[in-house]
Structure 1
Amino acid sequence: MSITVPPADPVPESPLPPGGETAWIEVIQKMDEVYNDLLQYEVALEEKNAALEESHQFIESVLASMSDILIVCDRNGSIEEVNPSLRHISGKTAEELVHTPLFELFADDGEKAKARDVFTRYAREGVHDCEFFLRAGDGSTVPVSMNCTPRVSQTGKLMGMVVTGRPVGELRKAYSALRQAHDDLKRTQGQLLHAEKMVSLGRLVAGVAHELNNPISFVLGNVLSLKRYASRLESYLASVHASDAAEDGALQAMRQELRIDRILADMPHLIDGMIEGAERTRDIVDALKRFSAVDKATPEQVNLNDVVERSVRWVVQSASAKFAVDIDLPPDLVCSGSSGQLQQVVMNLVQNACDATARQPEPSLRICGCLEQGMAVLRFIDNGPGIPAEHLNCLFEPFFTTKPVGQGTGLGLSISYGIVDRHGGKLSASNIAGGGAEFILALPVDNR
Structure 2
Amino acid sequence: MTKDRAPSPLTAAPMEGVDESTWLDVIQKMDEVYTRLIDDEVELEKKNAELEQSQQFIVSVLTSMSDVLVVCDERGLIEQANAALCELVGRSEELLRGSSLSDLLADAASVQAAREAMGRNAVPRSGQGIELNLLDRQGQAVSVDASCTPRVGSNGKRVGTVWVGRPTAELKRAYHEMRAAHEALKRTQQQLLHSEKMASLGQLVAGVAHELNNPISFVLGNVHALRKYCDRLQMYMAALHAQASEEELQALRQRLRIEHLMGDLPSLIEGTLEGAQRTADIVHGLKRFSAMDPDERKPVNLVEVIERAIHWVQKGRATSVQVRWDPVQTCSVMGSAGQLQQVMMNLLQNAFDALAREPEPMVRVEMECGGGERSTVRITVRDNGPGIPAEHLLRIFDPFFTTKPVGKGTGLGLSISYGIVEQHGGHLSARNADGGGAEFLLELPAA
**TM-score (structure 2 length as normaliser):** 0.45
**TM-score (structure 1 length as normaliser):** 0.45
Bigger Cα Rg: 1
